[in-house]
Every structure is written in structure tokens, then in C-alpha cells.
Amino acid sequence: MTMKSEIISVGTELLLGNIVNTNSAFLSGELAKLGIDVYFHVTVGDNRQRLMETMGEAIERSDLIIITGGLGPTSDDITKETVAEVTGRRLIPDEAELTKLKSYFERTNREMTPNNIKQAYVPEGASVVGNDNGTAPGIILEHNNTTIIMMPGPPIEMKPMFYEKIEPYLRKKSSNSLVSITLKFFGIGESSLEHQLSDLIESQSDPTIAPYAGDGEVRVRITSRSESGEKVPESILKVVSEIEKRLGDYIYSYHDRSLQQVTAMLLLKSGKTLAVAESCTGGKLSTLLTSVSGVSKSYMGGVVSYSNGVKQSLLGVNRETLIKAGAVSRETALQMADGVRRVCGSEIGLSVTGIAGPDGGSINKPVGIVYMALSAEDGSWVWERKFMGNRDKVQTFAAKNALNHLRLYLSKGITSIDKNKY
């Protein structure tokens, strides 16, 4: 039977927006891997009455409650006290934690004020979870049919505690786990993709199929339950095979790798060298490429030729081309790609020029128009695209599309690509 869980985040600073609540997203992802369904996310301030009400509801509806925050030494840290009251237990000192706490303050030459002692108190009958990265221990409390787990709020303390102490405990309680494959697509919109997979999505049971989009890409996560979690179930492989038949040309990754990671892998595998010339993207294309470790073996460098003068003097773009066709044109994009290839001595040149906005557009060349070109020994290619959105969105989409054209070029030029690597 699957455990029904919920995550409670404690802290008024979360409600005020002073701190972004990353704990809930992290814990949901980790619990899913263990086959534990998360039904509720709740954020509550440092208020005893509201936290009591929240805890009462959670105990009634959930098998597992994970609480983060409110375990510190100050008066507004009320998680333990409230949980103890709701479950009808006394708070008692844990001698091992008290000794550890005193030792910590002695070791750091700091005075241990009386309010710090409260961190060593735990609800009667609870198990203490050591905190190797802070002073507030975690707590596991079995109450009737509900497991309550309390962890410190700071992610730097919570995450290692979860991985080292809580995950092994939960793994023993969960009879199965979830196995997922994430397919990543580029060059197709979410609505178009969902339309072409509508019959699979509407008839899904196990595995489940979940498409979602962001930054010009679409992901499809295919998930199934597995008793061992050690290998991909046949049910997932069948769905992947069917999606490949319909949309295989748009798939660039089978293992949730980024577009830049996959492109860099292909570039390194090809043995070819690359240089890029950018105008409207202002270095974003180079940033994507250089975010991948090891790409320096193939990536020679880049030129941000923002002005026409630099396009001419450094990249060798013809003055006549700039006058007649303009800086944003097929001709200029091709000459930029040729030029950066020549200047850097690379085998491939990749360029981007366009109008990112919000100003600078015209009827013939509106904001969002972008030209991308690739120059190589076996030919040159240029592509025109029109992107919608603000300046940052146009720049991001332009850089990613240029990267995708490079990926497709490299894919066609390499034989025996093992898709499972990407």
C-alpha cells in the first residue's frame, strides 16, 4: 500500500516571501523516488494556534508528515512544542544531544545561553536524528498510525540529514518506488506535442505521462511503480517506443540532460572545434556551452560583435552587406559564422544576430526576428526565426535554437550515436 504524505513548512518568513521555500520541492522529488505520494504542501507561520490546527488536520489525513523549520532556540521556534502538545506528549531532554550541544559551544568559544538548551528537548517516545551540520537535531515520532518527521529549516542542514538519516528510514517503510524516464524535446511546442500524444495521455494509468514546458523546451516524464527500482519497467519502455515513433525527431535527451550538455557531448565526440559569434544574445550562447565541464577541448572561443564596427573589423563582415541587408540579415549571419571560424581557426563557426527588443524593430524586421548561421568545411546554413516575449526570452530562445541547430548538424555527421548516453 502506498503511503499518503504531506509536507509542512514552518516559518513566517516563508509567508512574507523573504525566503523562497525550496524545501517542499526538494522533498517532493525525493519522496516520489521512494514511491511515497505527496498529497499536500502546507506553509504555516510561527503561530502556535495555526500550527496546532494544521497538525490536527495532517494527522487525520496523512500517513507521513514531514515538517521543516521551527526547531531552533528562539521563542518563535515552536514546532516541537506544538507537535508534543497535539500528540499529548511531554518534552524531555535528550542527554546525548544536550552533551553534544554543550560541547559545540565550548569548542567554538561561545556562551550557551539558556534558550539554546531547548534544542536538546524532544517529545517523549521520539527518536532523535543527529544533525551533523547544525545544532538542532531532527526528530522522528510514531503517533498512532502516522509518522511525524521534523527537520531543521535551512537546506544546508535539512538536505544532508534527509539523505543520510531520513531516506534510509523511509526506504524501509515504503514497499515500492517510482521509476521515471524524462524525454526532452526541442523544436516543438507543448500544445502541439500534447495533441500528438493525446490518446496516450488520456488513456494513461500506469505508467503515467506528464508533459510540461519551460524556456522553449518540452519535457515528458513517464513514471511507473517498481518494487525494486533497479531497472526501467517494460511498461515505460513501450511508451517511450511509441513516443519515438511519433516525435523522435524532436527528442534530444532520454536522461534529463540539458541541451548544452547533449550538444557539448556530441561536439566532443565529433572531434571538431567550434567558435561562436554573437550579436543580440550578448554572450548567452557561449555561456550555455561553457557551462559544461570539459568542453574546452573543442570550444575555441567566442566574439560578442554587438556593433557593426566590430562585425566589420574583427569578423570581416562586408560594409556593403551591412548597408544593403543590414546587421540583422541572412547575409550578415553567414559572414559572421565564416568570420569567427577564420579568426579562431575552428572547424565550425556558429553565429546569432537579431533584434531582442523592446526597441529597434520595424515592419520588415520586427522585434524577435533572429538569424542563426553555421559555417563548416562541408557547407554553410542559415535559419530565420521569430520569437515572442521580452528581451530576456528572445535572447534565451535565440541562443538555445542556435545550440539546437549545432546539435542537429553534429548528430547527422556522427554515426552510431547511442541515444542512451544522452
Q: What tens digit of pLDDT does each residue of 205-215 get?
A: 889 898 988 88
Comparison of pLDDT for 133 and 215, the residue scoring more: 133
Q: Which of 339, 417, 328, 323 is nearest to 380 (CA)?
A: 339
C-alpha cell recorded at residue 404? 539546437
User: For domain 259-413, is the CATH number 3.90.1860.10?
Assistant: no
Radius of gyration of the chain (CA): 28
pLDDT of residue 418: 41
Asked whether the beta carbons of 88 and 120 are under 8 A apart, the reply is no
Find the mean pLDDT for residues 296-323.
Answer: 97
CA dihedral for 50, 52, 58, 61, sign (positive or negative)? negative
Q: Is 333 exposed, middle or buried (0-12, 13-18, 19+ CB in 10 A)?
A: buried
Residue 230 has pLDDT above 70, yes or no: no
Is the link from the previous residue into 207 a cis peptide, with omega within 30 of 0?
yes
When pLDDT is cut at 50, 70 and 90, the band that residue 394 belongs to is very high
User: Which pLDDT tens digit goes with each residue over 352-393?
Assistant: 999 999 999 999 999 999 999 999 999 999 999 999 999 999
User: Which pLDDT tens digit goes with each residue over 82-130?
Assistant: 999 999 999 999 999 999 999 988 888 888 888 889 999 999 999 999 9
pLDDT of residue 266: 96
Secondary structure of residue 265 in the 3-state scheme: helix
Q: What are phi and psi of 407, to 5 degrees?
A: -60, -45
Find the length of the chain: 422
Asked whether the beta carbons of 43 and 21 are under 8 A apart, the reply is yes
The domain 4-173 is placed in CATH, from the list 3.30.70.100, 2.40.40.20, 3.40.980.10, 3.30.1490.20, at: 3.40.980.10
pLDDT of residue 416: 36
Q: 126: which DSSP letter?
A: P
C-alpha cell recorded at residue 403? 545550440
AA letter at 12: T
pLDDT of residue 180: 83
User: For domain 177-253, is the CATH number 3.30.70.2860?
Assistant: yes
When pLDDT is cut at 50, 70 and 90, the band that residue 413 belongs to is low
Q: Which of 278, 273, 265 is nearest to 299 (CA)?
A: 273
Q: Which of 56, 51, 58, 55 is nearest to 6 (CA)?
A: 58
Annotate 52-89 with b (16+ C-beta within 10 A) or e (fewer). Answer: bebbeebbeebbbbbbbbbbbbeeebbbbbbbbbbbeb
Q: How far apart are CA 306 and CA 329, in angstroms?
A: 14
What average pLDDT does the chain have? 92
Find the mean pLDDT for residues 290-294.
Answer: 97
Give the angle 242-245-247 at the CA atoms, nearest 5°: 105
Q: Domain ranges in the chain?
A: 4-173, 177-253, 259-413
Q: What are phi and psi of 201, to 5 degrees?
A: -70, -40
Find the mean pLDDT for residues 291-301.
Answer: 97
For the chain, count helices (H), then strands (E): 16, 17
Residue 153 has pLDDT above 50, yes or no: yes
C-alpha cell recorded at residue 271? 572531434
Find the mean pLDDT for residues 128-148.
Answer: 95
Q: How far apart are CA 32 and CA 90, in angstroms?
A: 33
pLDDT over 90 for what percent of the chain?
Answer: 80
Residue 229 has pLDDT above 60, yes or no: no
Please report where in the chains the cell 565550548 appears, as a residue: 106
Secondary structure of residue 127 in the 3-state scheme: strand
Residue 307 has pLDDT above 50, yes or no: yes
When pLDDT is cut at 50, 70 and 90, the band that residue 277 belongs to is very high
Comparison of pLDDT for 174 and 323, the residue scoring more: 323
When pLDDT is cut at 50, 70 and 90, the band that residue 22 belongs to is very high
Q: How far apart are CA 266 and CA 45, in angstroms?
A: 49
Q: 154: which DSSP letter?
A: S
Lowest mean per-residue pLDDT among 173-177, 334-338, 401-405: 173-177
DSSP string, 99-121: HHHHHHHHHTT----GGGGGGGE
3-state helix/strand/coil string of 334-349: HHHHHHHHHHHCCCEE
